[in-house]
């Protein structure tokens, strides 16, 4: 499994893909720097606004997009390059290959995104009590990458050819549903991510925010996210274990 | 004796397109050729053997085990795919090493085995260069090395000679032969007849998703005795010869080309034909410049069976 992990990490960091990843994580940092130099907003920004800004930039947008980009193509890229056959003919159960590739994806994404988040936080004036705000948003980064990667991985395992488009539609629908009160929003990743970030960063949750995040404790929200990640990953493992990916007639019988 | 491959009514459909049709086979250990034109179903069969595809109907066992997602079996089998696919940012040595590590070898052992396997296929010279800069022949050798790296009991090689120059072909043919003599089993697919014949006399003929024939080339020959053989004759008196052949020998049909002075004779009983021909021409005093029948050659067997069943 470790060799699959290392191979996948190397492929993610190879050539143009690494450049694309760096460019991606540099974008929110550039926005934060612009904010810093374009105004003196950092001196007046409340904890709530800073948390909201960092949450939106990182766990909500960048992490979800990166998870979509890398999670949904985790199998599709190997299929397209016709290299999946090498992995599936090694003495490794398919679910192990999936888990190793998933873990490599999350681990590879967490490092540059965390660095970008840190520098963004510094750029906007290091708001919050010491590093508490930063820690809260970082938990959101980890949660977002872990959960969304597993969901998009599942989509990629089910429909490799259309995973990116379907993932994008899913992300938009899920975002909209996260604002629907009562029970529906509790089934969304975003809702629990907001809960984790708000509580962990020490944000004071106003009554009007109750519809978009939970009053539950951080552990409960983390548990909900962990359950979603496990379901996504287990679904992907099962799908890859039972589904044929190679040897279509188009490949040449 | 443990069978190498055992299939019962093995059928594979791609939607409504037939990939493999009702294939029943008991293949013993040894070196076997899998022969058929492009699109015959060779790669489909090999992917079923490797557990990359599931049968639509019927069953398949390889070394007594079900191949789908079966790591235990994959420890015993090496696979060289037909696709020219790689992780191009790796060197040949890194590529084979990482695949060896997936086979459960430690870092140093995997590297040692990878270097050894690359050496066996004549790739040692360029194994430290990135695959992106390899020629087709170099890539083919590297693909072969990754199939050999864990010293499998059974090798499945899908068109292993494609892209190789004549020297490379000779080296790989010798390698497959030596694996056979070491007691390894090999299944080699090709659509080029002389390639398979150079490796083994035992083969499976596959066409249109169906197994046309299997066994030794001579066993196929006896099977063919139920069907007309084609024999070519050249004579300055081709028309007269045709007339007498039809009357006096077991001939089912003749095509005459008077311009080229050739006859194409079909017979169900080639042994009787060959026995009677010298007596006939000696008795009549007819000249024959050439008699050509390459029925012992695999190519003629293939052409005949494919032609008659297509």
Q: How far is B90 from chain A (nearest CA, A)?
A: 9
pLDDT class of A215 with cuts at 50, 70, 90: low
pLDDT of residue A143: 94
Q: How far is A239 from chain B (nearest CA, A)?
A: 12
* Confidence check: pLDDT of B35 > 80: yes
| Closest by CA position to A58, among listed A3, A134, A172 | A134
pLDDT tens by residue, B118-172: 998 888 999 999 999 988 888 888 999 999 999 999 999 998 887 676 677 788 8
3-state SS, one letter per residue, for A156-211: HHHCHHHHHHHHHHHHHHHHHHCCCCCCHHHHCHHHHHHHHHHHHCCCCCCHHHCC
DSSP state letters, A65-134: HHHHHHHTTTTHHHHHTT-HHHHHTSSS-HHHHHHHHHHHHHHHHHHHHHHHHHHHHHHTT--SSTTHHH
Mean pLDDT score of chain B, rounded to an integer?
84
Angle at A148 between CA A145 and CA A150, to 5 degrees: 100
Q: Provide the token pair at A144.
A: 């977002």
* Confidence check: pLDDT of B17 > 70: yes
Task: Provide the 8-state DSSP code for A213.
Answer: S
Q: Is B293 helix (H, G, I), strand (E, B) or coil?
A: coil
Q: How far is A240 from chain B (nearest CA, A)?
A: 10
Say whether residue B209 is in contact with chain A using an 8 A CB cutoff: yes
CB A70 within 8 A of CB A105: yes
H or E stretch including A233? helix A218-242
CB A122 within 8 A of CB A130: no
Q: Output phi, psi for B139, to 5 deg.
A: -65, -40
* Confidence check: pLDDT of B296 > 60: no
* Confidence check: pLDDT of A76 > 80: yes
CA distances to A169, A201, B75, B280 from A102, rounded to whole Å, are: 22, 28, 24, 78
Q: Provide the token pair at A211.
A: 């519809």
Q: Above pLDDT 70, what percent of chain B?
A: 88
Cβ-defined contact of B53 to A92 (cutoff 8 Å): no
Residue carrying structure tokens 């008077």: B258
- Quote the CA–CA distance of A22 and A62 in Å, as a whole number: 12
Say whether residue B108 is in contact with chain A using an 8 A CB cutoff: no
Q: How many CB pairs under 8 A join A and B?
A: 95
- Quote the CA–CA distance of A51 and A190 in Å, as a whole number: 15
pLDDT class of A252 with cuts at 50, 70, 90: very low
Q: Is B185 helix (H, G, I), strand (E, B) or coil?
A: strand
H or E stretch including B27? strand B17-27
Question: Exposed (0-12), middle (13-18) or buried (19+): which is B307, by Cβ within 10 Å?
Answer: exposed
Residues found in chain A: 253
3-state SS, one letter per residue, for B188-226: EEECCHHHHHHHCCEEEEEECCEEEEEEEHHHHHHHHCC
Cross-chain CB nearest to A89 (options B53, B74, B86): B74
pLDDT class of B212 with cuts at 50, 70, 90: confident
Q: Provide the token pair at A224.
A: 């909900």
B-chain residues near A4 (CB < 8 A):
102
pLDDT class of A96 with cuts at 50, 70, 90: very high
pLDDT tens by residue, B80-130: 998 888 888 899 999 999 999 998 899 999 999 999 999 988 889 999 999
End-to-end CA distance of chain B, in Å?
Answer: 35
Most A-contacting residue of B38, B82, B90, B102 (CB-CB within 10 A), to test interface: B102
- Quote the CA–CA distance of B86 and B17 in Å, as a whole number: 29
pLDDT of residue A205: 67
How many CB atoms are closer than 10 A to CB B242?
20
Torsion angle of alpha carbons A39, A42, A44, A45, nearest 10°? 120
| Closest by CA position to B33, among listed B220, B159, B171 | B159
Return the higher-pLDDT residue of A47 and A125.
Answer: A125
Residue carrying structure tokens 């360029």: B126
* Confidence check: pLDDT of A42 > 90: no
A-chain residues near B82 (CB < 8 A):
252
Q: Provide the token pair at B124.
A: 């040692």
* Confidence check: pLDDT of B309 > 60: no
Say whether residue A4 is in contact with chain B using an 8 A CB cutoff: yes
pLDDT class of A251 with cuts at 50, 70, 90: very low
Return the higher-pLDDT residue of B166 and B26.
Answer: B26
Q: Above pLDDT 90, what percent of chain A?
A: 39
- Quote the CA–CA distance of B310 and B308 in Å, as a whole number: 6
* Confidence check: pLDDT of B306 > 70: no
Most confident of A137-151, B36-50, B168-182: A137-151
A-chain residue closest to B37, CA distance: A253
Say whether residue B90 is in contact with chain A using an 8 A CB cutoff: yes
- Quote the CA–CA distance of B84 and B90 in Å, as a whole number: 15
A-chain residues near B81 (CB < 8 A):
82, 85-86, 89
B-chain residues near A237 (CB < 8 A):
none
Rounded to an integer, the average pLDDT of A237-253 is 72
pLDDT tens by residue, A2-27: 889 999 888 888 867 788 888 888 98
pLDDT of residue A249: 42
Q: What is the ipTM metric for this complex?
A: 0.81
- Quote the CA–CA distance of A94 and A100 in Å, as a whole number: 10
Model pTM above 0.90: no
A-chain residue closest to B40, CA distance: A253
CB A106 within 8 A of CB A63: no
Rounded to an integer, the average pLDDT of B46-58 is 93
Q: Where are the alpha helices (DSSP H) in chain B?
A: 42-49, 71-74, 92-102, 107-120, 136-148, 166-181, 193-199, 217-224, 238-248, 270-284, 298-309
Q: Above pLDDT 70, what percent of chain A?
A: 87
Angle at B303 between CA B301 and CA B305, to 5 degrees: 65
pLDDT of residue A44: 52
According to DSSP, the residues that pair with B39 across neighbouring strands are none
pLDDT class of A39 with cuts at 50, 70, 90: low
């Amino acid at each position: 499994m470790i060799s699959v992990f290392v191979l996948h990490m190397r492929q993610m960091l190879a050539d143009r893909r690494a450049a694309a990843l760096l460019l991606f994580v540099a974008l929110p940092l550039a926005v934060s720097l612009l904010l810093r130099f374009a105004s003196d907003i950092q001196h007046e920004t409340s904890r709530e606004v800073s948390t909201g800004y960092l949450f939106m930039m990182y766990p909500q947008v960048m992490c979800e997009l990166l998870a979509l980009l890398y999670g949904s193509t985790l199998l599709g890229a190997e299929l397209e390059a016709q290299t999946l056959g090498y992995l599936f003919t090694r003495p490794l159960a398919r679910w192990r290959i999936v888990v190793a590739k998933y873990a490599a994806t999350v681990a590879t994404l967490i490092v540059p995104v965390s660095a970008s988040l840190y520098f963004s936080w510094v750029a906007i004036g290091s708001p919050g009590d010491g590093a508490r705000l930063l820690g809260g948003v970082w938990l959101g980064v980890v949660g977002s990458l872990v959960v969304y990667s597993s969901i998009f991985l599942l989509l990629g395992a089910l429909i490799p050819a259309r995973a990116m488009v379907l993932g994008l539609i899913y992300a938009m629908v899920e975002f909209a549903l996260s604002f629907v009160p009562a029970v529906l929003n509790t089934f969304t990743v975003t809702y629990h991510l907001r809960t984790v970030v708000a509580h962990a960063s020490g944000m004071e949750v106003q009554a009007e925010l109750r519809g978009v995040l939970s009053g539950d404790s951080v552990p409960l929200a983390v548990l909900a996210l962990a359950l979603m990640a496990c379901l996504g990953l287990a679904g992907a493992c099962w799908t890859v274990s039972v589904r044929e990916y190679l040897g279509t007639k188009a490949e040449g019988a | 004796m443990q069978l190498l491959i055992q299939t019962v009514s093995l059928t594979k459909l791609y939607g409504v397109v037939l990939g493999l049709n009702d294939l029943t086979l008991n293949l013993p250990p040894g070196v076997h050729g899998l022969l058929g034109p492009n699109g015959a179903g060779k790669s489909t069969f090999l992917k079923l053997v490797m557990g990359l595809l599931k049968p639509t109907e019927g069953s398949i066992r390889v070394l007594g085990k079900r191949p789908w997602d079966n790591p235990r079996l994959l420890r015993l089998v090496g696979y060289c795919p037909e696709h020219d696919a790689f992780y191009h940012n790796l060197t040949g040595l890194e590529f084979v090493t990482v695949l060896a590590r997936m086979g459960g070898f430690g870092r140093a052992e995997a590297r040692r085995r990878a270097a050894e396997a690359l050496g066996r296929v004549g790739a040692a010279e360029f194994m430290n260069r990135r695959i992106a800069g390899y020629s087709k022949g170099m890539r083919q050798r590297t693909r072969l090395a990754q199939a050999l790296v864990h010293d499998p009991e059974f090798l499945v090689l899908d068109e292993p000679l494609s892209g190789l120059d004549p020297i490379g072909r000779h080296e790989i043919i010798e390698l497959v032969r030596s694996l056979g003599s070491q007691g390894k089993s090999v299944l080699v697919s090709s659509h080029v007849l002389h390639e398979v014949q150079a490796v083994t006399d035992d083969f499976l003929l596959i066409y249109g998703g169906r197994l046309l024939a299997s066994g030794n080339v001579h066993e196929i020959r006896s099977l063919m005795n139920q069907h007309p053989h084609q024999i070519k004759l050249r004579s300055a008196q081709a028309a007269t010869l045709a007339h007498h052949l039809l009357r006096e020998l077991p001939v089912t049909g003749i095509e005459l080309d008077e311009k080229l002075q050739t006859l194409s004779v079909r017979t169900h009983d080639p042994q009787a034909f060959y026995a009677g021909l010298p007596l006939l021409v000696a008795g009549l005093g007819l000249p024959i410049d050439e008699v050509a029948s390459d029925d012992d050659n695999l190519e003629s067997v293939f052409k005949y069976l494919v032609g008659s069943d297509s």
